[in-house]
């Protein structure tokens, strides 16, 4: 699509706007894409956003209490292997 090409759309009675297919494809915005809507002096700006607010590790570390001693890497590997075997046996 040429930079000078202008596309139009219509606001529905429910306030919905359909973005032209060329823009959705170019931006890789499929169904369910969450967009941040920002009102700017130049117009309305749409930007993709995540479903959840960004967090830092220090915000969530130790957020769930536990009374067990930490597992070793070997214990974690054994647990993953056991679960994989259990799931494979089901199939």
Per-residue pLDDT at 80: 95
- Within 10 Å of residue 35's Cβ, how many Cβ atoms? 13
- pLDDT for 50: 82
Q: What mean pLDDT do residues 32-42 have?
A: 93
Two tokens, residue 68: 């067990």
In angstroms, the CA 89 to CA 91 distance is 6
What does the alpha-carbon distance between residue 18 and residue 24 come to, in Å, rounded to a whole number? Answer: 10
């Amino acid at each position: 699509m040429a930079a000078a090409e202008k596309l139009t759309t219509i606001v529905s009675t429910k306030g919905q706007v359909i973005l032209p297919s060329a823009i959705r494809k170019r931006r890789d915005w499929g169904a369910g894409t969450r967009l941040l809507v920002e009102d700017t002096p130049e117009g309305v700006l749409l930007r993709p956003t995540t479903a959840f607010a960004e967090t830092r590790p220090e915000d969530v570390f130790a957020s769930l209490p536990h009374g067990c001693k930490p597992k070793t890497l070997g214990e974690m590997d054994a647990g993953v292997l056991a679960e994989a075997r259990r799931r494979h046996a089901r199939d």
